[in-house]
Each structure stands twice: as structure tokens, then as C-alpha cells.
């Protein structure tokens, strides 16, 4: 059985992080979202994969290669234009018979993937707010119709983004017309197929979707909670480590540092001296968390530095960023209300009381820069000494 991973999209709602990386390659607990899906699919007994890549697909290909690192086979199909999920699946027609499809930017549990292996059908999940999803109309277990993004959803049962198809799906994909978004949607193909075939809805339990950048923090917390501690790096004297903490090879934790798990620290990092790393923090490879710095409930990607007297809370910091001495990120409004952000020119309620900054790759700040709650900073931006950053800051901007 082949497994098709849909990994071609940019993920515009994940900007500024996706200006430089495809959404599926954004890390949680120091692994790309797509890798967590691969790991769970392997646990479910699958070992033959086709990755449909597109936007910045070379990043996916360079990371996963032929799959030998995971003892599986990975092939690639390039969707050069983002023409929708039905078009992406159509591209694998010549390579599959009986096959599973996983949306690469949603993490599915291994037991649920096993369940989908046994049955032709569509994965279903119940959510609190169904407005952002395809709402599924059912008759018993049978799919009647998938309604895309209803203002007033008829139920809280949604299309989870995991499918088990046979060859017949391609007959309906070929009949699928462009949606109002200008894409060929697999949900339209399924709706046509449902009029003449009985398609079963299969409820799944472990499901985590990532729509906006702050959803990465929720997913990161969920994965870290399940992780066991393992120390492979060097720990100097007078270091306190509590709870489950992973410290990978080549990293050193210096005197006076306090780490409170669950926390993961990647390879070749310099931690401390005298820093405080609080729970639900993921620090990538080749990072530096230095003297007097505090990091809490955050994701810091490869090659980034929080080196001198910094505070980072409830934030996502991209790769190869550097915070100047004294740079602080606020993460709580004074009135304690939900934090709203500007992203792609629109105001969005994050539904979070605590959210710091979402910072793209290669951002630098000067000494004593201040970053306000919910600030979205595009890649290669520069926040000058003592400057205050707030709102949405586009890539390559200088704030002085």
C-alpha cells in the first residue's frame, strides 16, 4: 500500500514563517511537522511513500532524501503550480492502486492511521469551532456531502484530511471543476463520488491541525508532554535540571543554568551560564541561550541566539535570528485580554491571553529593543537599538 503525503502548499496563514520554508517543514519539538506524520505512518506499518511537493520543495527533498534514514522508500512528485488537493492527488495516478492520503500539515496518530488502513473512507474528527474546516454531512456512517467553511456549521464533525482511496477516485477527480478559490478541491471530487458510491466516515482520535503560527506552540506542548528525558550533551557543575529534558549530542549546559522540563535542546547548542529555560520550550540545533536570558513556552529554530539578558515567552523564532543584548518580548496585554494580531493585512483573534512574537528567519534586533505582544516580524527584518516593534512588520523592513 502506498502512502501519499500532500506537502506542496505554502501555508499563507503561517506567514511570516513560510516566507522561507514550506509549512510542512516548520518544526515542533525539533522535527518538521511532516516528519512527525512520517514517523506515525511508519508506526502504523506503512513504508512506501510518495511526497507531493511544490512550494520550496527542494527543502523537503533535501531533508528526507530517499527515506533510507527511516528505513522506508520515499519518491517525489512535483506539483509545479498550486492547483489544489485534487490536482495534487491526480498527479500520483500512475503510481498507486490502493492508497492512503495524508495532509502533510496535520498530524495524525499512528493508531488512527492503522484504522484508516483497514477501511476505505474519509477520516472524521469533532472540533469545537468548525468554521475553518470542511463540515461533513452524514447519514449514519455514510458521507452525504462535505460543506466547505460554513459560516453557521451544521455540525462540529469535520473532514480530518486523511483518506483511504482506491483507483476509482481518479474518475471523479477528472470531472472536478475549479472552485471559487481557483483550485481543484478533493472535497468536490468526494462529493461527486458520494452520489454514486457509499463512502464511510471513519472517526479518528489523535488529530492536530496547524492553521496559524501560534498553533505550533500548542502542538509543541502536546508533543513535549509525551517525551522522555535523555541527556547526551555535557552538563557542567551547578546546573539544575528538573522534569523530562532532552539535550542532544554536542551541546553544553554551563554553570548556573536552570532547566525545567519538558524541554528539548538540539545538537551543538551553548546554554548558559546563568539562564532559565522554562517548560514547553524547543531549542533547535546550533543555538545559544546566554547569560541572564529566560525562555518560556517557545520554539527557537536552528542557528538562532538569545544570548544576553533577553526574555522570550510564548514565541516562535525562526532560523538564524539574533536578539541584541536586552531585547525583550512582551507576551501579555496589560488588560489581560485576548491577543489579536495583524497577519496578511487582516486582524485575527488568536484566542490566547499569552502570545509573544512570531519572528521569521534571519531577523536581528539591536540592544534594548522591545517587541510588543502579537508582533509578526518578517524574515530579514532589522529592529534597531531601543526600537519598539509592534503589529505586522514585512520582510526586509528596518525599524529604527
> Mind telling me the catalytic residues?
308
Confirm if 368 and 383 have CB atoms less than 8 A apart. no
Burial label for 62, CB within 10 Å (0-12, 13-18, 19+), is exposed
User: Nearest-CA neighbor of 245 among 29, 23, 81?
Assistant: 29
- Contacts of residue 58, Cβ cutoff 8 Å, sequence gap at least 6: none
Q: How does 319-349 read in b/e, with b if 16+ C-beta sit within 10 Å? A: bbbbbbbbbbbbbbbeeeeebbbebeeeebe
Question: CB 149: neighbour CB atoms within 10 A?
Answer: 11
Burial label for 182, CB within 10 Å (0-12, 13-18, 19+), is exposed
Confirm if 221 and 244 have CB atoms less than 8 A apart. no
Amino acid at each position: 500500500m502506498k502512502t501519499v503525503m500532500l506537502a506542496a502548499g505554502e501555508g499563507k496563514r503561517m506567514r511570516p514563517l513560510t516566507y522561507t520554508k514550506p509549512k510542512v517543514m516548520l518544526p515542533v519539538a525539533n522535527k518538521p511537522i511532516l516528519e512527525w506524520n512520517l514517523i506515525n505512518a511508519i508506526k502504523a506499518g506503512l513504508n512506501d511513500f510518495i511526497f507531493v511537493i511544490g512550494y520550496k520543495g527542494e527543502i523537503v527533498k533535501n531533508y528526507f532524501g530517499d527515506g533510507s534514514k527511516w528505513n522506508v522508500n520515499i519518491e517525489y512528485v512535483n506539483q509545479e503550480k498550486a492547483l489544489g488537493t485534487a490536482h495534487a492527488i491526480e498527479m500520483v495516478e500512475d503510481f498507486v492502486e490502493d492508497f492512503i492520503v495524508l495532509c502533510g500539515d496535520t498530524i495524525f496518530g499512528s493508531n488512527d492511521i492503522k484504522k484508516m488502513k483497514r477501511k476505505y473512507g474519509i477520516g472524521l474528527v469533532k472540533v469545537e469551532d468548525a468554521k475553518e474546516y470542511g463540515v461533513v454531512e452524514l447519514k449514519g456512517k455514510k458521507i452525504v456531502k462535505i460543506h466547505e467553511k460554513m459560516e453557521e456549521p451544521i455540525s462540529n464533525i469535520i473532514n480530518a484530511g486523511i483518506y483511504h482511496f482506491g483507483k476509482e477516485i481518479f474518475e471523479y477527480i477528472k470531472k472536478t471543476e475549479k472552485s471559487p478559490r481557483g483550485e481543484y478541491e478533493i472535497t468536490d471530487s468526494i462529493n461527486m463520488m458520494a452520489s454514486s458510491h457509499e463512502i464511510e466516515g471513519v472517526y479518528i482520535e489523535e488529530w492536530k491541525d496547524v492553521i496559524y503560527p501560534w498553533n505550533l506552540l500548542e502542538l509543541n506542548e502536546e508533543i513535549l508532554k509525551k517525551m522522555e528525558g535523555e541527556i547526551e550533551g555535557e552538563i557542567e557543575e551547578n546546573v539544575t535540571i528538573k522534569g523530562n529534558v532532552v539535550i542532544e549530542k554536542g551541546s553544553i549546559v554551563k554553570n548556573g543554568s536552570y532547566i525545567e522540563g519538558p524541554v528539548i535542546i538540539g545538537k551543538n547548542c551553548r546554554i548558559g551560564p546563568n539562564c532559565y529555560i522554562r517548560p514547553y520550550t524547543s531549542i533547535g540545533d546550533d543555538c545559544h541561550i546566554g547569560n541572564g536570558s529566560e525562555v518560556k513556552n517557545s520554539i527557537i529554530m536552528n542557528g538562532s541566539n538569545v544570548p544576553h539578558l533577553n526574555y522570550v515567552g510564548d514565541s516562535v523564532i525562526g532560523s538564524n535570528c539574533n536578539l541584541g543584548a536586552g531585547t525583550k518580548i512582551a507576551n501579555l496585554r496589560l488588560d489581560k485580554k485576548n491577543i489579536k494580531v495583524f497577519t496578511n493585512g487582516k486582524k485575527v483573534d488568536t484566542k490566547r491571553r499569552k502570545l509573544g512574537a512570531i519572528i521569521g528567519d534571519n531577523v536581528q534586533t539591536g540592544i534594548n529593543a522591545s517587541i510588543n505582544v502579537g508582533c509578526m516580524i518578517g524574515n530579514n527584518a532589522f529592529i534597531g537599538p531601543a526600537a519598539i516593534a509592534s503589529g505586522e512588520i514585512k520582510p526586509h523592513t528596518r525599524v529604527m
